[in-house]
Amino acid sequence: MNNLQELINSIKYVNIINSLIIVIASIIVYKFCTYIFNKSEKNVKNKKSKTYIKVMRSTVRYFFIIITVLILLQANGVDVSSLLAGVGIAGAIIGLAVQDWLKDIIRGSTILSDSYFTVGDVVKFGDIEGKVIEMGLKTTKIQDLATCNILSVANRNIEQIEKVSNLVYVSVPMPYEVNLKKAENVVLSIAERIKENDGVSDCRYISVKDLASSCIEYLLEIQCDQIKKRQVRRDAYRSILEVMEKNGIAVPYMQIDIHNK
């Protein structure tokens, strides 16, 4: 209580000019550091290195805020050392209040050390699939690929984030009437056609996937740009229809025969 009273009394005699000089100097130094980080990020092409730079920039921001506040208090007559020493009990209470914040910071460090994902990777959080655009000590920002909305996820929820692969699997339905050799030749032609689509780096025929009730399903594996996966899947289905139509094969569908007595 005495420390609090001393703090209030000292604020009454604040040296405004010294405070302004400290704040301005802190902003200038911070802007210079930000400039260095931005320049370094532009010159670095490795995604993991960019992630480290972004996290360091976030850490420096918090560091400057804390240091500036402490310097301002000291410059205005507040004994910072005794103030910090008297925060023992209060620190324990505050620690309980900010435990989620501490979890975020610990998880943020874990993301970096274990390389869960980096800036530029495509991840899935719940029903949202998006691109990681920014990583900090507390939160990770994801841009939804479907809506372009930006979602901030607390780093303590890292277990709920899945890194999306660059593979897409599609099934090619073939009628039972088409023999295996012809069907597989058509599927190989479809794979070659899909390779021509935008965002596709490779496509290969895996094997027969399933003997369904109305067709035989042949499985294709497509390697593509993660960000373009939705469009790649749509383009792949179109390619399937084009090649099957070119070969005179109708897409099979469920049919029901009704017999009247």
Q: Where do we find the tokens 């960019």?
A: 50
pLDDT, greater one: 183 or 59: 183
**C-alpha–C-alpha distance, residues 184 and 188, integer Å:** 6
What is the pLDDT, as a whole number, of residue 46?
A: 64
Report the SS3 class of residue 208. Answer: strand
What length does the chain have?
261
Burial annotation 232-255 (CB, 10 A radius, 16+ → b, else e): beebbeebbeebbeeeebeebeee
**C-alpha–C-alpha distance, residues 162 and 215, integer Å:** 33
What is the pLDDT, as a whole number, of residue 124?
A: 87
What is the pLDDT, as a whole number, of residue 174?
A: 94
Domain ranges in the chain are 2-86, 106-163, 167-246
Give the rounded percent of residues in the chain with a pLDDT score beyond 90. Answer: 30
59-98: pLDDT as tens digits: 777 777 777 777 777 776 666 666 555 555 455 445 544 5
Which one is the CATH code of 106-163: 2.30.30.60, 2.80.10.50, 2.40.50.140, 3.40.50.720? Answer: 2.30.30.60
Q: What CATH architecture does domain 167-246 belong to?
A: 2-Layer Sandwich (3.30)
Whose CA is closest to 175, among 213, 219, 220?
213
pLDDT at 100 over 80: no
117-174: pLDDT as tens digits: 778 888 888 888 888 888 777 788 899 988 889 988 887 777 778 888 889 999 999 9
Alpha-carbon dihedral angle through residues 26, 29, 35, 36, given to the nearest 10 degrees: -130
